[in-house]
Amino acid sequence: MAKVIETEDLAVSFGEGADHNIIFRHLNIAIEAGEFVTLVGVSGAGKSTLLRVIADLIPAYEGSVKIDTSQDAARRRISMVFQAANLMPWRKIGDNVGLGLEGIEISEQDCRERVQSTLNLVGLGEYGDRWPYQLSGGQRQRIGIARALAVDPDILLMDEPFGALDAITRTAMQDELLRIWSETQKSVLFVTHDIEEAVYLGDRVLLLGGRPAHITNEYKIDIDRKNRRESVEFMQKVDEVKAGLVDAMALSDGAA
């Protein structure tokens, strides 16, 4: 299968001189078309930072990111869902969803249709004319996802999008995301600190640890997506990743 994201010895650092701090180094990951990859790791290992480098919001210190997707002027190749929904409060819901459509080659008519169909996809078709303050936290996060999907990206980067939600809403959103993913065939890179979430959602789980951080482990999740949460293998995989995370934490502390 074609690789849509490939990093080559990627490193990111913050600060200068004595404060120069390398967050991660020699990072090599590859994500295939249509794959759902989750990324867990020690806090401070640079999970969110990695997403931002791939989205070209932060420059790399060393190495490179190769993005290989279709080139289409009516779409964007990559889009992102943030930890907080971060909707613009002065835009109505429909205009928030259409944010990424401004500036790409798409007619006004198509733009409106794209916004409406994406709102329908996340189950909030009636909400286009409301203001963000009129929505609940879970609804806002769904709009954040709709905003990312509206540009019809090949790659969806998600930075702990359900971290701030209550357990019930979170479970519902996970299933909804999987439904959308299976309908749209996006490649997803999903950051979370919740291991069960990572194992439940991912085709593969990557573990980021050490200092400077790198990929310390990788877990292929071959469990059938139907009834995955209830299966025995699921809990075994979760335990396996948890053990890996403990090792990665020891590695990070040891190097400090």
Return left, alpha or beta for 46; rule: phi > 0 is left, psi -120 to 50 is alpha, else beta: left
Write out the DSSP string of 63-80. EEEEE-----TTS-SEEE
Looking at the Cβ atoms of 156 and 245, the one nearer to other proteins is 156
Indicate the DSSP class of residue 84.
S
Q: What is the dihedral of CA 223, 224, 230, 236, to 10 degrees?
A: -10
Task: Tell me how far, at minimum, the Cβ of 197 lies from other proteins, in Å.
Answer: 22
Looking at the Cβ atoms of 93 and 195, the one nearer to other proteins is 93
Looking at the Cβ atoms of 76 and 214, the one nearer to other proteins is 76
Residue 219: strand, helix, or coil: strand
Task: Tell me how far, at minimum, the Cβ of 174 lies from other proteins, in Å.
Answer: 23
Residue owning tokens 């139907």 = 226
What is the Cα–Cα distance from 114 to 147, expressed in whole angstroms?
A: 10
Task: Tell me how far, at minimum, the Cβ of 202 lies from other proteins, in Å.
Answer: 22
- Residue 4: which of 29, 24, 25, 26 has the closest Cα? 29
Looking at the Cβ atoms of 108 and 222, the one nearer to other proteins is 108
Task: Tell me how far, at minimum, the Cβ of 185 lies from other proteins, in Å.
Answer: 21
Looking at the Cβ atoms of 147 and 211, the one nearer to other proteins is 147
Task: Tell me how far, at minimum, the Cβ of 204 lies from other proteins, in Å.
Answer: 24
Going by C-beta distance under 8 Å and a sequence separation of 6 or more, which residues neighbour residue 131? 89, 92, 93
Question: What are residue 64's DSSP bridge partners?
Answer: 8
Task: Name residue 147's amino acid.
Answer: R
Task: Tell me how far, at minimum, the Cβ of 238 lies from other proteins, in Å.
Answer: 31
* Residues at the contact surface with other proteins, assessed by CB under 8 A: 55, 57, 76, 79-80, 82, 84, 86, 88-92, 99-100, 102-104, 131-133, 147, 151
Looking at the Cβ atoms of 40 and 80, the one nearer to other proteins is 80
